[in-house]
Structure 1
Amino acid sequence: MAKGKRNSTNGNGESLAFEARLWAAADALRNNMDAAEYKHVVLGLIFLKYISDAFEAKHAELEAQQAQGADPEDPDEYRAVSIFWVPKEARWAHLKASAPQPTIGTLVDDAMAAIERDNPSLKGVLPKDFGRAGLDKQRLGQIINLVSDIAFSSPRPPAGVGPGVRESGRGRDTLGRVYEYFLARFASAEGKSGGQFYTPSHVVRVLVEMLAPYKGRVYDPCCGSGGMFVSSEKFIEAHSGKVGDISIYGQESNYTTWRLAKMNLAIRGIDAQIAHGDTFHNDKHPDLKADYVLANPPFNDSDWRGALLKDDKRWVFGVPPAGNANFAWVQHFIHHLAPTGLAGFVLANGSMSSNQSGEGEIRTAIIEADLVD
C-alpha cells in the first residue's frame, strides 16, 4: 500500500461543542428508546431539515428572479443545480408548525414519501415509520423543535450555540459534520453491532491517506454508512484536487445500513453508485476494475454461505474456508483491482497468522504474487 503523505486532523475542533450539545439534547429526548431505533428517527429528521433548508434558500433566490422568468415552483429549477425538490407538504416550516399535533408522525411519514416520490434517487431510502404506535408523538415533536435550531443554510449560528460557531452559508458542511458525529455516537451506543454501519474516523483517515485517492475509481464492497467515500472526498479537497476526478462505487448487504449510506452521501452532494445486495452472491459491480479499494469488511464472518461459491472465479489464490470470510474478502478486493490499483483494508486480529482451512496457503500465494506492499 502507498505510504501516507501527511497527518490529517479532523478540522472540527471549533464545532465540537456545537455537535456535542446537539447530541446531548437529542440523547435526553431518547428516553428508553433503543439506540438502533432512535438513530433512524434523528438522522432521518436531520436529513429532511437539510434538504428543506437547501430548497428554501434556492426558492428565495428564484422568487427574487421571477421578473426575469424564474419559477420558484418548477422542480427542474432545483434539479438543474443538484438540489432536491421538496413538495409543499414536506417542507420543514409545515412540519415545525405541526409538531405539537398528535398526527405529527403521520405527517412526517407523508413528507418522506412525497420526497421519495419526487426524487427518484431517494426511492426506498428515507425512513417512513414515524407514525408507528410505539413512537411517542410528543417526544417526536420535541425532536423536531430541536432539529429546527440547526441552521443548515443560514450564516447565523444555531440557537443556543454561541457566537463562536458560524456557518457562513456552508450548510452542507454543517450537516455533514452533525451527521457524522451522530453516526459515531450511535455506533458507540449500540456497541459491537454499531460496527456494522460505522468505521471509526481515525481508521478511515489512515486508510485514505495511505492510498491517496486523487483520481480514478474508488470501491468499497462493504461500505456501511459510506465513511470511506466521505473521507476520500475530504482528502481530495484538502489537497486542492477536483472531487469530480474520482468515481465512487459501493455495495452494502444490510438494507438499513444501505439507506444510511445513501443519505450520508446525498447530504454531502457526493455522486455515487451504491448498490444494495450480498457482495459475494450478488456482486452489483461485476465488471468494475477499481483504482482504489477501501474497506472494513465484517470480521470472521462465518455465515457467508461460502460452500455455495467453491468454484468462484475470484478465488485465484485458493478457496477460502466456508466458515470464515476473511480471505474471501481479500480475494474479492484483488479481483476488482485495476492492474495498477491499490487496496487498503482492515482485517480481524489473527488474519495474518491463521493457518486454518487453507488460509495460510492463500496468504502465502498472495505474498508470492508480490501483491503486498
Structure 2
Amino acid sequence: MRPKSGLAALPWPALGLLAALSVAAPASAAAPPTQPTDGPGGVGDKAATITKRAVGRASAATYAFYKAGPAPEGGRPVAVFLHAWGAPNPQAYGAWIDHLARHGWLVLFPRFQEVNRTRPADAPAIAARLLKSALSDLAGDADARPDPERLALIGHLAGAPLAAHLAAEAAKEGLPAPKLVYVVMPGGIARDAKSRGIPLGDLDGMSPKTLLVTVIGDRDARAADAAARRILRDAHSVPPERKLLVRALSDDHGFPALTATLASPAGLDAAYDGGAIKLPPDPPGEKPPPFRWSADMALSGEQTTLVSQINNARADSLDFLAFWRTFDMAAAAAFAGKDAQSLKNDPAFSDMRRWGDGWPVKRLGVETPKVPATPAAVQR
C-alpha cells in the first residue's frame, strides 16, 4: 500500500483544527472599500502642512486647524466640531479633522468641557462664547481667515444637541447662521430643566435656510434614532425639504467588518493631540471663577465606557463614505443653496461602494422626516 501524503497523512484532530482555522482566518476575506482618492470623502491635499494652534486663552480655548499658507480670497469655509461628552481632545476626531483641513476648511474645535468640572447645562453658553471669540480672533488672520457665509456645525453625541442649540441661538449670540447643521449619533439631551444632559432649547430660531442632516447607525440605535427625530421635529422653522435622516448600516460581509456604533464617527489621529498644542495664557491677574462641583459633572460608568471606545476608534470605510463624504456633499449643497431633496435624489450620496470581491456594501438609508400636522401636535 502506498503511504499517505499531504492532508490525508494528518490525524483527525489536526484536520479539525485546520478546518477551523480556514474558516476563521480573514486572509481570504474581502477587504472593505478604501478612501476615495478625490472628491467628497477623498484624500485631499496630502502634501499640505496643517497648522495646529489654539486661540482665546488657557481657561477658554478653541483649537484651530487649517492648511498652512494664505487663505483664499473670501476666506476659508468653517467647520465647527462639537465633541461627545467626555471626549474634549481633538485627537479622538483627528482623522476627520485632518480630512477637512486638507480640503481647505478652517476647523474650529471649541474646548467647551473640562472633564468632571463642567456642567452639561452650562455647555451651550460656553460653546457660544468660545466660537464667537474664535471667529473674532481669526477674522484678521491672513492664513486662517474664516468665511462667515460658509459655516457648518458638526456635532457628535452630546455635541449634536449642542450644535442644534447653537444654530437656533445664533442670532441672539451674535454668531453667523450656519448653512449646515450636521449631527451624528445624537444623544445626551436633557429631558427637562432639572435632568442631566445638554438642554436642547427652543429650535424655532434656526434659520429656515439651514440644511439640517442627522446621521445615525444601526447598532445601539434606539436612543440616537429618537434624538435625531426629535431634533428634526423640533426645528419647526426649517422646512421639510431641508431636512434629512441618514442611517449607516453595519456590514460584516468582509474583514474587518463595518460596525455603525455610537463611537464609529470618531477616528484617532495622535497628530491632533490637544495636549501638544500650546494654549494662550490667561490675562495677567485674572482669576477664574470659584469652582463648585455638582454630581452631573462626573461621567457615569456607561459614559466612561463609551468615551474609551471613542478615544480608541480608528477611521474605516464608514468614516470615509458614511460620515466624511456625506458631510462634504451636504456642505456643498448647503453652500450652493440646494435642499436636502437634492441629496436624497443623488444615488452617489447613499452609495457605499464595494468590498474587495465586488460585493456591494450596504447602502445608506436616506429619508425625509414626516411632517406633523401642526407644531402644536408635536409631543416633546
TM bracket (short chain): under 0.3
- The structure where strand makes up a greater share of residues is 2
- The structure where helix makes up a greater share of residues is 1
Query: Which of 1 and 2 has higher RCO (CA within 8 Å, sep 6+)?
Result: 2
- TM-score, structure 1 as length reference: 0.25
- TM-score, structure 2 as length reference: 0.25
